[in-house]
Chain A
Amino acid sequence: GAGVSQSPRYKVAKRGQDVALRCDPISGHVSLFWYQQALGQGPEFLTYFQNEAQLDKSGLPSDRFFAERPEGSVSTLKIQRTQQEDSAVYLCASSSPGQGVTEAFFGQGTRLTVV
C-alpha cells in the first residue's frame, strides 16, 4: 500500500483482556515506531525497531506492553491484561534510513477503549 496501515482502527476491550494491534509499514522502510496518544495530548514514544531488532523500548509503560517485528516488516503491539489507563490512540510510524533526520510516516492509529 501507499502508506502505513494499522488495524483494527477501533478496538473496545474489557478490562483484563489481552489485545493485539497490527502495523503494516511502508514497504522497504527499515525503521518502525510505536507511539501512544492520549486524548488531547501529543504522541508519547513507546518503542523503536530497526528491521527486526527492537533498539529502544524505554517508553513501554509496563511489562504488560510487548512489541515485536519478527521479519522486519509487520509489527504487532500487544497489551496484556488491559487497564482503563491504556485507553488511547496507538500510532505506528515508519521511515527509511538517511542522513540526519528522515520523515516518519504515520498511520491513522488504532483507538483502544478499555471498559
Chain B
Amino acid sequence: QKEVEQDPGPLSVPEGAIVSLNCTYSNSAFQYFMWYRQYSRKGPELLMYTYSSGNKEDGRFTAQVDKSSKYISLFIRDSQPSDSATYLCVPYNFNKFYFGSGTKLNVKP
C-alpha cells in the first residue's frame, strides 16, 4: 500500500467552477500536510500547507485535513485557466516529503 493515494484524474472543469481535490494517507504519524502544484515540465512549487487537522485558507484556495479519517482536501474557488496543472498532496515527516501521484486539473476557458 502506498503511503499516499490520490486520484490521478484528469479532472476537467469550466472556468469559475469550484474544484475539489482529495487524497488519503496511511501513516497516522504525519503532522504536516502540503499541497504542491506542478506545471508541465517544471518542478513542484509549494501552494500551501496545514499542521494537524483543520482548515487553512489562502485566497481562492482552502486546504482541509481530517486526521481521524486520514483524508486531505484542497478546494479551489473561482477556478482559472492558469490553475491548470498537476496538484500533489504531500504529507511531511522527519525531513521526508511523501508525494501522492498527483491529480491533473484542466480548467477550460
**Least Cβ–Cβ distance between A10 and chain B, in angstroms:** 10
CB distance from A77 to the nearest CB of B (A): 15
A108 contact set on B, CB distance < 8 A = 41-43
- Sorting the interface of chain B by its residue count into under 10, 10 to 19, 20 to 34 or 35 or more gives 20 to 34
- Give the residues from 1 to 58 in chain B that come closer than 8 angstroms, CB to CB, to chain A: 4, 6, 8, 31-32, 34, 41-46, 49, 51
Given A41-B101, A42-B99: A101 touches B44 (CB 8 Å cut-off): no
CB <8 Å contact, A101 and B96? no
- A57 → chain B closest CB, angstroms: 12
- Listed stretches A11-19, A43-51, A62-70, A78-86; interface member: A43-51
Residue pair A106, B44 in contact (C-beta under 8 Å):
yes
A89 CB, nearest partner CB in chain B, Å: 9
* Contact present for A33 and B8 (CB under 8 Å): no
How far in angstroms is the closest Cβ of chain A from B33? 9
Known contacts A100-B32, A100-B51, A101-B92, A45 near B43 by CB under 8 Å: no
Cα–Cα distance between A55 and B88 once the two chains are bound (Å): 25
Q: Which residues of B contact A43 (CB under 8 A)?
A: 44, 88, 97, 99
Q: Are the C-beta atoms of A56 and B43 separated by less than 8 Å?
A: no
CB distance from B37 to the nearest CB of A (A): 11
Bound together, the chains give a CA A103 to CA B47 distance in angstroms of: 10
A interface residues (Cβ-Cβ under 8 A, vs B): 4, 31, 33, 35, 40-45, 48, 50, 55-56, 91, 93, 100-101, 103-109
Closest 4 CB pairs of A and B: A106-B43, A42-B99, A101-B32, A42-B101
